[in-house]
Structure 1
């Protein structure tokens, strides 16, 4: 139908141009011959006569086409031929209409996949070599956000997770770079059709137990929870981890600003306690009345006991980012295990953890670090079964972070194998 309409418009446009050219020719001839320039009324009459002549000529051609026996009339057999050709033309337009609608529907449905496919195939033409090298060194099995989204979807779909029975929640930093269309959170929110925000600065779940409880109570009846948590880090064109040139800015800024800011504050204080404290216990000790910057204060307090061994790491900001992951993981786990009515409301909880990597060019990435699911024993027994590790099923081999973190002891404290 669209093709038909376009073709008809082109035909009308051609006729209009022909009339215009004819009119211009008349005026030109009159001017050259010295004749008096026609008035507006005469112009209108001339245009009308031309149009009538063209219309009459087209009618005569059309009539001659179907008046096969040249009798001057359209007899019964000739009329049948006219109807037959009209029906063929109508069917052709219907086929074109269906084909156009189908193509348009497929294009709309696969536009995101097409973008991601093109991004993967063409990124070698515009990647920043130093940024790529730094990412592979510090985040060795990082994946494009679109690939992570599909891997999570494929794995959970096989376990019965669907947009209609699952509510997606995320604990990531509130930085706007994490909300770009190609980033993981917008992709997953679009996939699961909604998203509950648990995170604040640095990606810590500052919604707390109350926020997690609200999230839980929004789950569909006997439905499922999907939680993704991650700190984030930028890598600039020079390969500097923790830096990012943001859209519209010539200068490079910090990413994550909260995590790096906390690290700098601790450097200034030279405060690195030797005995690690549980992040959740540290959260309970915070005095909210002593500061107007409670989130950054909490990040500093949680990060302080985790900086031992940073001198042995390959990159201090990468080390801090992995420690931020450990803090968030601990807090999310506490929310899950310390919510008594969790499996009275949800039948299964899937938790994905990692690090979001912001890049100026070449696409945004995600370094997967954990993926497990917890399921209640039965509909009559709200007690959870042992966690099921889905990491290798979804993402393949685990990353070797020994050189990045500097020691096995550091990895053990973070529970990253």
Structure 2
């Protein structure tokens, strides 16, 4: 019953979303049956936010190897070219690379977007915390991001999003808009990095599944709204 209530809220904001269990079944099936990929020889990398709440969102892909963690705050692939190269070198012989990526956003049964009730907490808190913090800082007209060594990931995330500050703040739902903008950043960064290190991949295919992870509540399946699904032949990168 609670799952159905959450589904109603999720679909109001992300009409195309599937729960993560159905996401894994659908897209692993497409990889296996539509692209002739042996998923038993597939290594998954993730570029998701380091938030602990995202761990269940990847557990439904337990039939593949991994994950190799590329992401940090907001889901940006902070592991960079070195991390992506390491991932390339870890793929099973005659296997396939699979990258699951994107930012995340919470929802509550009260239809609060950008918040969730975390396990053991009585009050709803920000989710994604890094993106909601950036959003709050952007509301201050005097604020300009400054890279800080001691807070590199957050300040780098904000510096990349800052050029779209007005677009984000003027949207009817800024919490959702900043999440969409972050997906576009992650997607662009991953594709650029893959082209940089393409010769490190000794496999024929790289599968990408990107979108928005939608966090719900403890014991309730999360959801995923797909923005990109593709299988790239490494020779075409």
Fold shared, TM-score > 0.5 on shorter chain: yes
1:220 aligned residue: 92
Alpha-carbon spacing, 1:186–1:230, altered in 2? closer, same or farther (3 Å): same
For the pair 1:176 / 2:176, whether they are aligned, the reply is no
Residues 149/231 of structure 1: CA separation in 2 closer, same or farther (3 Å cut): same
Which residues of structure 2 form unaligned runs of 5+? none
Instruction: Looking at secondary structure, tell me which structure has more strand per residue.
Output: 2
Change (3 A) 1:148 1:295: same
TM-score when scaled to structure 1? 0.53
Moved over 4 A (4+): 131-134, 269-273
User: Is the Cα–Cα contact under 8 Å of residues 234 and 357 in structure 1 kept in the other structure?
Assistant: yes
Equivalent of 2:215, from 346, 354, 358? 358
SS at match of 1:216: helix
Rounded to whole Å, the distance in 2 between the matches of 1:316 and 1:133 is: 21
Given the alignment, which residue of 261, 284, 293 partners 2:133? 261
2:30 and 2:111 map into 1 onto residues whose CA distance is 33
Q: How many residues align?
A: 235
- The answer to whether the 8 A contact 2:214-2:224 is kept is yes
After superposition, give the CA deviation of every residue in 1:384-413 in whole Å (9 maximum; x if it has no partner).
27xxxxxxxxxxxxxxxxxxxxxxxxxxxx
Alpha-carbon distance in structure 2 between the residues aligned to 1:373 and 1:242: 31
Q: Aligned to 2:228, which of 356, 364, 370?
A: 370
Larger radius of gyration: 1
Write the distance in 2 (CA, Å) between the matches of 1:259 and 1:311: 13
Alpha carbons 1:349, 1:374 under 8 Å: kept: yes
Looking at structure 1, the residues matched to 166 and 102 of structure 2 have their Cα atoms a distance apart, in angstroms, of: 21
Mapping of 1:13-412 within 5 angstroms?
Answer: 125-127=1-3, 129=5, 132-158=7-33, 159-180=35-56, 183=57, 185-188=58-61, 190-269=62-141, 290-343=148-201, 345-360=202-217, 362-376=220-234, 383-384=235-236
Alignment RMSD, CA only? 2.2
Deviation at 1:166, TM superposition (A): 1.6
Point out the structure with the larger helix share: 1
Unaligned runs of 5+ in 1: 1-124, 274-285, 377-382, 386-417
Q: In 1, distance between residues paired with 2:25 and 2:166?
A: 36
Query: CA offsets, 1:101-126, max 9 Å, x none?
Result: xxxxxxxxxxxxxxxxxxxxxxxx22
**Distance in 2 between residues matched to 1:326 and 1:264, nearest whole Å:** 20
Question: How far did residue 301 of structure 1 move?
Answer: 0.5
